[in-house]
Amino acid sequence: MEVAIYFSGVVFWALLAFFVRNRKIQVPIALMFVLWQLGFGIFLYSKINETWTPYFRNDALSVIFISILSVTAIFTIINSFIYFSHRNEKPLIRSIYLLALMLFFGCMTGVFLANNAGLLWILTEATTLAIAVLIYHERSIESLEATWKYVFVSTIGLSFSFIGIILLDLSLKDSGGLNLFFSSINHSLIINNTVLFQSAFLLIVIGFSIKMEVFPLHTVCVDANSIAPSPVSALISTSLANVGFIAIFRFFKITTYTPMHDWASHVLFIIGSLSVLYAAIYMIRVKNYKRLVAYSSIEHMGLVAIGIATGGLAWFAVVLHLIYHSFTKSSLFFQLSQLIHMYKTKKLAGVGSCFKLNPLGGLVFLLAFILILGIPPSGMFFTELMLFKTMIEQGLLWLVIVIVLLLTIIIWIFTKQLFRILFKNVGKQQLSTIEPSPWYESLPQLILLLFALYLSIQPPDLLISLIQQAVLP
């Protein structure tokens, strides 16, 4: 009932935002939607671990990710309206954007709450439909291409995970099984047919890799990220990647109750390492700053995949890492929106003098880059350290060395490009054509980054105990 009320509310606000075409009225509607989302997050926390229906369950993990989503929603809505003001949108196109955005938030919340594998799959598929509309928002040839590729690959990938879910259920039938419900899983499962179980897990991971932005179906995410409006890119890179994480994590957890646990860990080690390698290689030749940041997401999600495979303390590190990553990466994408508006290009060669033109914006960039690269006091420094420590304890020193080398390359490229954006002098002729963004447009990002910094330096006990509950085996 409670979930039904939430979804009805989302549909109501989305339809209202769609039918009311006036921007001044859409602002309070969007604000009401954000309050609705935040309120639902708080309600879920107050009723944690209560099951209302077998199909939805609000465990600690879903509460954490819905809270991240709700906080991101505030800043996404603010930045969406800043984005509209830069572009002089037609009212209909703006309304379609808001409709798709609100439904997208609703679907993601549903995925985080889903206790049934079939339902999780359906809601993930629904996120594809909503995000397709958002990627296509600018209606250019490039956005059409990016949307087409994203929808096509995403639907095929999710078809794979659908087969995987069917096969997984069948392979577990002999030992009481899954019956598609995560909470009713038997903690000591017998696998009679290992080929069937392995095929199922592989198909599930391949399918959801498109949402989590990890190898092998990550490439279309980079295209989508580089073309979509920046507030949408922020969501694809953070909340949607969290959707992929939660799907893969819930299925991986099932493998920990079987003798196939080690095999499944190896699969995720390979996927994670290849993702970090891919990000490092492609970052070297990247010429577009949005693609640069998109590759950084693949790197971080690769680390997360490695963390899932490592298990133990690494699971704690991974959830904390995702919290920091979500807030930092989304602020970075929001800030990139200003660069596009100021320089009218997404090419790294066309930007520079950001500190001179927009000091607060420059400061936001500097802070965001420090935090995203995991340089202390960034929380990601500590989570990566925790991950590497657990890996070394498990005898994976060689993998830690490889990953650290790849991260060094990534830090070098990122720093080089950051200095180009902040300090490289642009010609006088170009300088005269640039229209600097007002300082207050950088303020929301600064607040979000300071919040991430606060969580890094002094994570509240409440958060720590929630994560501890969430990663219990």
Residue 142 binding another protein, by CB under 8 A: yes
Cis geometry, peptide bond prior to residue 216 (ω within 30 degrees of 0): yes
**What are phi and psi for residue 181, nearest 5 degrees?**
-105, 125
226 forms part of the interface with another protein (CB under 8 A): yes
Which residues between 160 and 199 bind another protein (CB under 8 A)? 162-163, 166-167, 169-171, 173-174, 180, 192-193, 195-196, 199
CA distance 384 to 160: 31
Options 122, 313, 340, 366; binder of another protein; rule CB under 8 A: 122
Tokens 């420094």 locate to 381
Main-chain phi, psi angles of 54, to 5 degrees: -65, -20
Is the Cα dihedral 423, 429, 431, 433 positive or negative? Answer: negative
User: Does the protein bind another protein through residue 409 (CB under 8 A)?
Assistant: no
Residue 159 interacts with another protein (CB under 8 A): yes or no: yes
Exactly one of 285, 432, 440, 462 binds another protein (CB under 8 A); which one? 285
Smallest separation (angstroms) from another protein to the CB of 249? 21
Stretch that binds another protein, among 78-86, 283-291, 378-386, 441-449 (CB under 8 A): 283-291
Asked if 201 contacts 163 with a C-beta cutoff of 8 angstroms, the reply is no
User: Using CB under 8 A, which of the segments 18-26, 92-100, 223-231, 426-434 binds another protein?
Assistant: 223-231
* 276/370 with CB nearer another protein: 276
| Dihedral of alpha carbons 397, 61, 367, 272, sign | positive
* Identity of the residue, 288 or 394, whose beta carbon is nearer to another protein in the bound complex: 288
Tell me whether residue 120 or residue 370 sits nearer to another protein (CB atom).
120
Looking from the CA of 7 toward its CB, the CA atoms found within 13 Å total: 12
* CB 434, min distance to another protein, A: 25
Beta-carbon-side half-sphere exposure of residue 64 (alpha carbons within 13 Å): 27
3-class DSSP assignment, residue 116 = strand
Quick one: which of 17, 77, 119, 396 contacts another protein (CB under 8 A)?
119
Give the interface size with another protein as a residue count (CB under 8 A).
48
Rounded CA-CA distance 190/175 in Å is 6
**Any contact of residue 81 with another protein (CB under 8 A)?**
no
User: Binding of another protein at residue 223 (CB under 8 A)?
Assistant: yes
52 exposure class (CB count in 10 Å sphere: 0-12, 13-18, 19+): middle
Whole-number minimum distance, CB 171 to another protein, in Å? 8
Write each residue from 244 to 263 as x if it is in contact with another protein (CB under 8 A), else as -, in one continuous string.
Answer: --------------------
Stretch near another protein under the rule CB under 8 A, chosen from 13-21, 36-44, 124-132, 389-397? 124-132
Residue 158 touches another protein, criterion: CB under 8 A? yes
Check residue 439 and report its DSSP letter.
G
Q: Cβ(324)–Cβ(380) under 8 Å?
A: yes
**Least Cβ distance, residue 44 to another protein (angstroms):** 23
141 is an interface residue for another protein by CB under 8 A? yes
The only residue of 291, 300, 321, 329 in contact with another protein, by rule CB under 8 A: 291
Any contact of residue 145 with another protein (CB under 8 A)? yes
Q: Does 155 bind another protein (CB under 8 A)?
A: yes
Nearer to another protein among residue 269 and residue 289 (C-beta): 289
Candidate list 282, 315, 316, 382; residue touching another protein; CB under 8 A: 282
97: which 2 tokens?
Answer: 């954007």
Asked if 448 and 75 count as a contact pair (C-beta separation under 8 A), the reply is yes
The answer to whether 128 contacts another protein (rule: CB under 8 A) is yes
User: For residues 107 and 123, is the Cβ–Cβ distance under 8 A?
Assistant: yes
Exposure string of 136-153, with b = 16+ CB inside 10 Å and e = fewer, is: bbeeeeebeebbebbbeb
b (16+ CB within 10 A) / e for 209-218: bbbbbbbebb
Q: Is 273 in the site for another protein (CB under 8 A)?
A: no
The token duo for 248 is: 């893969």
Stretch that binds another protein, among 28-36, 116-124, 268-276, 305-313 (CB under 8 A): 116-124
Burial of 2 (0-12, 13-18, 19+ CB in 10 A): middle
Which stretches of the chain bind another protein, using CB under 8 A?
116, 118-119, 121-122, 125-126, 128-129, 132, 141-142, 144-149, 151-152, 155-156, 158-159, 162-163, 166-167, 169-171, 173-174, 180, 192-193, 195-196, 199, 223, 226-227, 282, 285-288, 291
